[in-house]
């Protein structure tokens, strides 16, 4: 039985982003084979969607330090998925 790759990508993405103790840190890399092209594409879409909601930080922003705690942290491998 094959896993639903898109559903798995969504769960792993949510767990990586909101999990405690970095349990699912770099989940996209650990589960890349199981995610396959469809799951990796979904993971990529979710990551881009999440980052699109983060305000740009420019010079002179007085509120910049408060954003550091709010930025979603994703494993660097999210940006090098290479699923295409």
- pLDDT tens string, the chain, 84 residues long: the values are 788 999 999 999 999 888 777 788 888 889 999 999 999 999 989 988 888 877 776 676 666 545 455 445 555 555 555 554
Backbone angles phi, psi at 48, to 5 degrees: -65, -40
Per the domain annotation, does 70 fall within a domain? Answer: no
CA 23, 16, 27, 25 dihedral sign is negative
pLDDT at 73: 56
Per the domain annotation, does 12 fall within a domain? Answer: yes
pTM of the model: 0.70
71: helix, coil or strand?
coil
CA 47, CA 24: separation in Å to the nearest integer? 15
Number of neighbouring beta carbons within 10 Å of residue 14: 13
Per the domain annotation, does 39 fall within a domain? Answer: yes
CA 82, CA 74: separation in Å to the nearest integer? 16
How many separate domains does the chain show?
1
- Structural domain including 10 reads 1-53
């Amino acid at each position: 039985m094959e896993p639903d790759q898109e559903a798995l990508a969504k769960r792993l993405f949510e767990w990586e982003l909101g999990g405690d103790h970095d349990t699912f840190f770099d989940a996209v890399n650990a589960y890349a084979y199981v995610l396959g092209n469809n799951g990796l594409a979904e993971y990529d879409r979710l990551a881009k969607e999440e980052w699109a909601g983060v305000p740009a930080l420019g010079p002179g922003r007085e509120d910049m330090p408060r954003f550091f705690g709010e930025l979603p942290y994703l494993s660097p491998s999210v940006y090098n998925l290479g699923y295409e």
